[in-house]
Amino acid sequence: MSEPWSHGLEAVTSSGEDVAANYGMRLSSSSDRYHRAYETIQLVQSPWGSWGKDAWIHDQVTGRFADADQIA
């Protein structure tokens, strides 16, 4: 089983006016979209770094998910 932090994350910014229109908006510039995507990735990844290397336990027998002492 792979560690939870070994999985990737792909952020896709839209380039279609039709997609922006679904949210009642106009399409932002490419620079703005990539800046927002970068900020979003930073927010998503920040909790990943708060776990110690051996924090993930996932013991189905005991029901213990993680070692709380290794989570900031």
pLDDT of residue 59: 92
What pLDDT does 47 receive? 84
Q: What is the pLDDT of residue 38?
A: 92
User: Which domain, by its residues, includes 16?
Assistant: 4-70
Q: How many domains does the chain have?
A: 1
CA atoms within 13 A on the CB side of 63: 0
If we measure between CA atoms, which residue out of 6, 10, 5, 11 comes closest to residue 47? 5
Residues 28, 33: Cα–Cα separation, whole Å:
6
Chain-centroid distance of CA 2 in Å reads 17
Q: In the prediction, which pLDDT does 32 show?
A: 93
pLDDT at residue number 66: 92
Over the chain (72 residues), the average pLDDT of each successive run of 10 is: 61 85 91 92 86 90 93 86
